[in-house]
Amino acid sequence: MMETGQTNQEIRKVVDVHLHINFERPHSQEIAKKAGITYTPDGLLADMDASNVRKALIMSVPGQTKTSYEFAQRHPGRFWVCGSADPKNLTADVLKSVEADMAEDRIRALKFYIGYQHYYPDDEDCVPLYQLAIKYGLPVIFHTGDCVSPMARLRYSHPLTIDDLAFRFPDLKIVMAHIGNPWIWDAAEVIYKNENVCADLSGLITGLPAEYKEEYREWVRRQVQDAIYYCGADNMMFGTDYCLISHAEAIDFFSHLRIKREDLEKIFSRTALKLFGKGETI
């Protein structure tokens, strides 16, 4: 029995596993304005509260982890932090700093921007970071699929590149951000094959005006549904890629997936709590 059209109130608890706090960037503010979002710390919290988003994972870029952590500290109980380091500039001091962040519970995951920084997930330069993630039981997150910069290289960010890494490091918890969009079907196979791989559903739709917006959203909905029918909902998590879309709009979109309510609850919160929560409840 499929259940569709559930309201935000019916989805009692939500975790957003993918948002950004680039409030000072003019380009981000421009995007937020087009999406109808007040992109400020207070605006973010109000947006989360209005949709019962209890927790969110802040994505960092290399050099931004401290800023993300300080923001999370100013809002206790609302945010986890995903740190980041550039494996191509991995000094002993950087590695020591990453380990300290893990050991002292300042971060709950580590982000890799493979397409933007031009390396494959199984690049040897990444191995010291993976070893730390395994040691502390933290997931690693990869930007997979489409990249917004023309300077990015899609061959690195294709979701099939994750398969070799998952095979080589079976104890490494791996998240494919954006479920490899537009190669969602390939990402679904990587999830199906590898028990240590999951995905977030962020960035698939935006609140921005676009030609064929509704037609594209219907295409995405079918792709995500088919992926769930193929590999299950246990390894998929809700995300917005905020400020690309408001929480209310994103929740409404995914609430209309033709899947069981139990699977929606996994996507909206349960799987994220298992992966990032360290026993926390919301």
Chain-wide mean pLDDT for the chain?
96
- Specify the DSSP class assigned to residue 238: -
The pLDDT confidence band at residue 1, using thresholds 50, 70 and 90, is very low
Token duo for residue 127:
């191995």
Distance CA 50, CA 249 (A): 11
Cβ-Cβ contacts under 8 Å for 78 (sequence gap 6 or more): 45, 48, 54, 55, 56, 72
The pLDDT confidence band at residue 8, using thresholds 50, 70 and 90, is very low
* Architecture of the domain delimited by 14-276: Alpha-Beta Barrel (3.20)
Closest CA to 75 of 59, 99, 63, 58: 58
Distance CA 143, CA 156 (A): 10
Q: Does the pLDDT at position 11 exceed 70?
A: no
Q: Does the pLDDT at position 275 exceed 90?
A: yes
Contact 144/157 with Cβ under 8 angstroms? yes
Distance CA 181, CA 204 (A): 7
Within a 13 Å sphere around the CA of 151, how many CA atoms are in the beta-carbon half?
3
State mean pLDDT over 208-231: 96
Contact 35/208 with Cβ under 8 angstroms? yes
Report helix angle 184-193 to 161-168, nearest 10.
10
Closest CA to 110 of 156, 174, 166: 174
The pLDDT confidence band at residue 252, using thresholds 50, 70 and 90, is very high
- Specify the DSSP class assigned to residue 235: T
Closest CA to 248 of 40, 41, 11, 87: 11
State mean pLDDT over 244-272: 97
Contact 129/164 with Cβ under 8 angstroms? no
pLDDT tens figures, 70-94 = 999 999 999 999 999 999 999 999 9
